[in-house]
A and B are shown apart, each in its own frame.
Chain A
């Protein structure tokens, strides 16, 4: 079955760029119609959707983060990545990658049915 695994630096300096990668195993990232997504959760708080990249290559981002976010895919490595620029302490969180899957054939909406285990990112000098 498909599994997701986040990787990347656990410590980022303020004003620098956070870079994380999600490796997809058990299936091809370029097959099907999925939304490869990033979601974060500050310690003790709720979930915040960051954005996604569709199998087709189209992207959508949370408007509150859009100016600082880039999500891309590397099909040769079966990975997708997150870059978040100009980080501050407010960006400290556990970052999850997840697969967005449509409700069914012909459906236009969906849910996050597979998640990575999450990776903690600290912002500190």
Chain B
């Protein structure tokens, strides 16, 4: 199976900061990488799909990049509502064997 490793595991930042979260796959997954945001007690929400495409309704301060094994999620200017846990997820495997990263908790500094 394909292992997804996120870094850092946790991150403290301030409102207005630019933040980058990294996700590394154990093998090449092309651009089949998605990012989700999860707030406490809530279901995950799709932010970015296919590595760099912004899901409808998601603010443009969120962006994604990368291909192959290394990917990043960037929040250009943190807003109070962005403090949450972020997960990457690969959809490359065939037959499907979907795996998620372990999550990155973004906290208020």
Decide if A57 is an interface residue (CB 8 Å cutoff): no
B43 near A96 with CB under 8 A, answer yes
Query: Which interface residue of A46, A48, A96, A115 has the most chain B CB atoms within 10 A?
Result: A46
How many A-B pairs have beta carbons closer than 8 Å: the answer is 60
> Which applies to chain B's interface (DSSP): helix, strand, loop or mixed?
loop
A60 near B95 with CB under 8 A, answer yes
Q: Which residues of B contact A113 (CB under 8 A)?
A: 46, 49, 55
- Knowing A46-B100, A47-B100, the reply to whether A112 touches B34 (Cβ < 8 A) is yes
Partner of B50 from the list A62, A103, A116 (CB cut-off 8 Å) is A103
Interface size class of B (residues with CB under 8 A): 20 to 34
Closest to A52 in B: B96
Binding site for B on A (CB under 8 A): 35, 46-49, 52, 60, 62-63, 96, 98, 103, 108-113, 115-118
A47-B89, A60-B96 provided; 20 other pairs, C-beta below 8 A?
A35-B96, A47-B36, A48-B100, A49-B100, A62-B98, A63-B1, A63-B97, A96-B44, A98-B43, A108-B94, A110-B49, A111-B46, A111-B89, A111-B91, A112-B36, A112-B46, A112-B89, A113-B49, A115-B44, A118-B43
